[in-house]
Amino acid sequence: MIFLRSTVALMWTAISVVQAGGFLENMISAIWPRFQHWNHLPASANITSAGILSVVLYWCIQTYVSMLPIRYVSRIARVILDDLINVFPSQKASM
């Protein structure tokens, strides 16, 4: 049972990292359009160098953030949430 749960967790994490890497590739391509055409692999590989780099970058960011102490993560979240509250004030506050 433990082996099955660990295998499912590993597959879930791998799929999430690959999907997030694709999202990161789209974000980088929106900023730098040439990034989308950056490829040093043959067409038969069915993946681009930009795709591989995006997955590795996301994995590095995810690993770094997951190793931060929880107090730093909560401070970062608090700053982001405070900024979002200031950008999108509630309707009731303006009445």
Give a yes or no: residue 16 inside a domain: yes
Query: pLDDT by residue (tens digit) across 60-89?
Result: 999 998 888 888 888 888 888 888 787 776
Give a yes or no: residue 95 inside a domain: no
Q: Measured in Å, how far apart are the chain's first and last C-alpha atoms? A: 56
For residue 90, the model assigns a pLDDT of 65
Give a yes or no: residue 29 inside a domain: yes
Phi-psi region of 12 (alpha: psi -120 to 50; beta: other; left: phi over 0): alpha
Amino acid at 75: R
Give a yes or no: residue 83 inside a domain: no
Give a yes or no: residue 59 inside a domain: yes
pTM: 0.70
Domain count, the chain: 1
Query: pLDDT by residue (tens digit) across 1-51?
Result: 899 999 999 999 999 999 999 999 999 999 999 998 889 889 899 989 999
Q: Domain range for residue 33?
A: 2-69
C-alpha pair distances (Å), 69 with each of 26, 66, 73, 74, 83: 30, 8, 7, 9, 22
